[in-house]
Structure 1
Amino acid sequence: MPAPLTLPRIAWGDPSASHRALLVHGLGSSGALMWRLGDALAEAGWHATAVDLRGHGDAPRSLDYTVAAFGADLVSTAPDAGGAWDAVIGHSLGGAASTVAAASDPEWTRRLVLIDPAIHVDGRDASIVRRSQERAFADSRIEVVQQEHPHWHPQDHELKIDAVRRASAWAVEQTSAQNQPWDVRAHAARLTVPTHVIAADPAVYSIFTGDLAAEVLAANPRITMSVVEGAGHSLHRDKPEEAIRQLQEALACGALSDRREPK
């Protein structure tokens, strides 16, 4: 794997808690934008840590923005007290990088929860992701985010603007450019820990749905799936209460027995 970078952290909950979770954000985002999940985990008795990925927030910059490099950083990110994470929760790019990390080191975490993960991104989805990031960096006024996502919490509006302003536009651009193809399906097939995907509603927009979702689930019986209806790709901001409910269920069960068929 590529040489790892040391990622900055923020945390919620009692550091002495018996359960430790790592939160991994998506492309163009930041660790702080995982606040809703971190806060809920802390209330449930967990200690939750979020990182800024390379090229984002306060994290070091690099020339390498492959998913393998993001994954290498995560493999070298351990709980403060050492040992394995009890759970790693990754959104989009963070889900892909967490998949690579867990496949590379089966002792890194005891379970995965992937939030609309970017397991395979090409064609139309690649274009949508690229245009979305270009718009965000072209106009980072909070009014634009509020207009596009009026249902988000005000702190999500604020933190999204902060994330864009602190991220490297070049790093975000290179993440798309350097991952051709963007495909971690083989890593997902090798996962040995219970893994649950919380997917977005394809009627709104999801990058983990249809034939792709069916293929990934069929390739590994340890992977299960549920859908947050009415939520788009950033489902933990679109429908936070339902996203948190499904996250807590996944963490309680390890791997859900309800393998819902992808839409």
Structure 2
Amino acid sequence: MTTVSSASQWGSPTASRKALFIHGLNSSSHTFHRVASALAAKGYLVVAPNLLGHALRKPGVDFQVQTLADDLLPYFQAAEYDIVIGHSMGALVVLSLLKYLPKTKPTSVVLIDSSMELTAEQIVDGRDMFSSDVRTNPTAEDYMALNPLWTREDAIWRVLGTHIGRPTNSDDHLDGNVPWSFSHLIADKPAAAALTILVADPSKLECVAKFKDVRTVIIANASHWIQYEFPELIVEEALRNIEVQDNRQ
């Protein structure tokens, strides 16, 4: 029997189309609540697992992104997905899972504001950025004041994601993936999969310029949390890939 880890779910279990969402560092499955609700309203079953070491889950044997990906293999054994979306470190997990996507079934893959390549200096800066919320313990009101496009629900899920994860997640995962280099995994994408990368910071796209079959989109006026600020654009890009693939068949 195939077993799967803890997850959130939106939509009908009998939906004919399915989507898999993978959250990022110091977050949880509920970070996708607006995107998932929108896709569920369009007839999708959306499943969002909680990664090892997050949402009260114990960590695995190590903190490598590939270990996080391997833990999610039961989801690929249980179903095939029309859409796969990952945010931040979750996008790197998606990259590590590309080799397991069906070779002929079209899949829409969307990566949200992920840093695929980091220098040693950037890892140090990233450690400070990711762990700042753990140290300062901001409230929902703090997040809403800093992020005017966030709803109160967005802010509450952000607070919860931080509190139910391990306090050392940032350091453990950054240190456990040196050298931080993942863009080469794009080469594992099956020809049937359409890949779109959404970023707030254009510099994150420099490492993917050599991949000609990747669609890249810069989201103006967005922060790292595009799924809170512009969820409709994520849905639009995911469905755009589906439409393009359907037209090719």
Give the RMSD, CA atoms, in angstroms.
2.5
* Residue in 2 that maps onto 1:194: 193
Listed as ranges, the matches of 1:31-180 within 5 Å are 31-78=29-76, 82-103=78-99, 105-107=100-102, 110-111=106-107, 112-123=109-120, 125-142=122-139, 143-180=141-178
Give me the whole-angstrom Cα distance separating, in 1, the residues matched to 2:245 and 2:124: 34
Change (3 A) 1:126 1:199: farther
- CA 1:17–1:6 in 2, change beyond 3 Å: closer, same or farther? closer
Q: Which residue of 2 aligns with 1:20?
A: 18
Inter-CA distance 132–116: structure 2 relative to 1 (3 Å threshold): same
- Higher mean displacement: 8-17 or 229-238: 229-238
Residues 57, 166 of structure 1: 8 Å contact kept: yes
Provide closer, same or farther for how the CA distance between residues 107 and 248 of structure 1 changes in structure 2, counting only shifts above 3 A.
Answer: closer
Worse overlay, 170-179 or 243-252: 243-252
Q: Secondary structure at the match of 1:96?
A: helix
Aligned length: 242
AA partner of residue 253 (structure 1): V
1:89–1:115: 8 Å Cα contact kept in structure 2? yes
| Paired residues of 1:196 and 1:256 also in contact (CA < 8 A) | no
Percent identical across equivalent pairs?
Answer: 21
Mapped partners of 1:238, 1:13: distance in 2:
22
How far apart are residue 76 of structure 1 and its match? Answer: 2.6
Structure 2 regions of 5+ residues with no counterpart?
none
Corresponding residue of 2:230: 239
Alignment-mate amino acid for residue 54 of structure 1: L
- Over residues 178-207 of structure 1, what are the superposed CA-to-partner deviations in whole Å (9 max), with x where a residue is unaligned? 1111112222112114232232232xxx56
Q: Name which structure has the greater RCO, CA cutoff 8 Å, separation 6+.
A: 2
Alpha-carbon distance between aligned partners in 1 of 2:177 and 2:135, rounded to the nearest angstrom: 22
Contact persistence 1:22–1:87 (CA under 8 A): yes
C-alpha distance in structure 2 between counterparts of 1:33 and 1:106, whole Å? 24
Comparing 160-169 with 118-127, greater Cα deviation is found at 118-127
Q: Deviations 1:9-30 (Å, cap 9, x if unpaired)?
A: 1110111000011110111110
Distance between the aligned counterparts of 2:204 and 2:4, measured in 1?
29
1:125 Cα deviation after fit: 4.3
Q: TM-score, normalised by structure 2?
A: 0.87
User: CA separation in 2, counterparts of 1:60 and 1:253?
Assistant: 40
**Alpha-carbon distance in 2 for matches of 1:124, 1:196:** 29
1:128 and 1:251, CA in 2 relative to 1: closer, same or farther beyond 3 A?
farther
- Deviation above 6 Å: which 4+ runs of structure 1? none
**TM-score between both structures, scaled by the size of structure 1:** 0.82
Farther off after superposition, 148-157 or 224-233: 224-233
Flag structure 1 segments of 5+ consecutive residues without an equivalent: 258-263
